[in-house]
Amino acid sequence: MLKIKELKKIKKPIIEFNERKYIFSIPSIIIFAIGTPILSYLVFLFFDMQFNYWLHEIVVKQTVFFLNLFFNMGATAEYNPVGKYHWDFTIPGKSNISFETFCTGVQAIALFVGLIIFTPHSQDSGTKRDVIWRKAKSLVISSVIFYVVNIIRMIIQIELYHLGYPWEDIHFSISAASSFVAAIIVLLMHKWIPEFIISIIYVGTLVSEPVKQNRKKKVKEIVKKTSKVELSLIRKVLRMEKKTYLKDIVKWSEEYGYTVEGDYLLIPDNKISNFIESLMQDKPFAKKRT
């Protein structure tokens, strides 16, 4: 709780992507993290209720239709309103395959419904003005893709089963393989709602902000007292590459009139106030570096 209060005090970072600005409120990020799994689970539970078995029937009958269309299999959909699940596939010469809610692929749709609905909106008015449209588009398209891929998965599995492959071998392997679609959906989501990935990056930026501020304060105190600072410390402030920083820091210090001696950066007394001013900027030493 204290950490959240500390985070609230920090000046919010702005992430720019594709000429749009992304600034997120902390409550929206917390709601995203908590709300997504809860909503996803609730949506799944809703479709797992017995009154929603119309979904089972539609999926089973569509699969049977395509099985008979492509492979002339003679498969049928059997309705047995006894027990937990009511629908079965009947394959000639094979034992029945029972159908459950997981077979509809609704769990994947539910997960993405949770993700898309709770993805935080940017506080920038230009970025958020069409977010509902973008979210609706990704919701509809991702659900349709999951639905279609799921039916294709079942068609392949049942045809292989019909050809004589053991059900245990094909069921889990093809189901796992078909989950690659989730990766495609994430890529599509990034195209339409970049807020999803950017909000995750934003959390990282937000959490690392107090560390950066503390580091800057530490450098400020050291320079005030000793007029010098360790190179490794200033490297972190300037975000220089570990491999090349020794070379880069010499060039940078010459630009500003500082000197490098051993592992230390020496700042002349008349430049200390300028050094501290540039250090405490949002982007330290940004003006002269660019």
Partner 1 sequence: MEQITLKKLYFWILLTINLLFAFIIGFTIPILETRNSYIFGFVMIPLLIILNYIIVDRFQFIIGQLNEKEEKINVKD
Q: Which is nearer to partner 1, 87 or 275 (CB)?
A: 87
Choose, by CB under 8 A, the member of 18, 19, 51, 261 that binds partner 1: 51
Q: Where are the alpha helices (DSSP H) in 179-258?
A: 180-192, 195-226, 231-238, 245-256
How many residues are there in the chain?
290
> Which SS3 state, helix, strand or coil, does residue 82 take?
coil
Q: Does 83 bind partner 1 (CB under 8 A)?
A: no
Q: Which is nearer to partner 1, 140 or 148 (CB)?
A: 140
Q: Which is nearer to partner 1, 52 or 123 (CB)?
A: 52
Q: Which is nearer to partner 1, 51 or 183 (CB)?
A: 51
Nearest to 8 by CA among 195, 209, 199: 209
| Continuous segment of H or E residues that includes residue 138 | helix 131-163
Phi, psi of 16 (to 5 degrees): -105, 130
Structure tokens at 136: 């609706």
**Least distance to partner 1 from the beta carbon of 149, Å?**
20
Each residue 124-163 as x (binds partner 1 by CB under 8 A) or -, in order, gives -----xx-xx--x---x-----------------------
Q: Does 92 bind partner 1 (CB under 8 A)?
A: no
Instruction: Choose the stretch contacting partner 1; rule: CB under 8 A; options: 16-24, 51-59, 170-178, 279-287.
Output: 51-59
The residue type found at 154 is M
Spatial distance between the Cα atoms of 2 and 8, rounded to a whole number of angstroms: 10
**Least distance to partner 1 from the beta carbon of 77, Å?**
9
Q: Does 52 bind partner 1 (CB under 8 A)?
A: yes
Instruction: Choose the stretch contacting partner 1; rule: CB under 8 A; options: 24-32, 56-64, 67-75, 172-180.
Output: 56-64
The residue type found at 164 is G
**Least distance to partner 1 from the beta carbon of 191, Å?**
17
Q: What is the number of other CB atoms lying within 10 angstroms of the CB of residue 179?
A: 11
Q: Does 102 bind partner 1 (CB under 8 A)?
A: no
Spatial distance between the Cα atoms of 88 and 59, rounded to a whole number of angstroms: 11
Spatial distance between the Cα atoms of 72 and 70, rounded to a whole number of angstroms: 6
> Which residues of the chain form contacts with partner 1 (CB under 8 A)?
50-58, 79, 81, 86, 129-130, 132-133, 136, 140
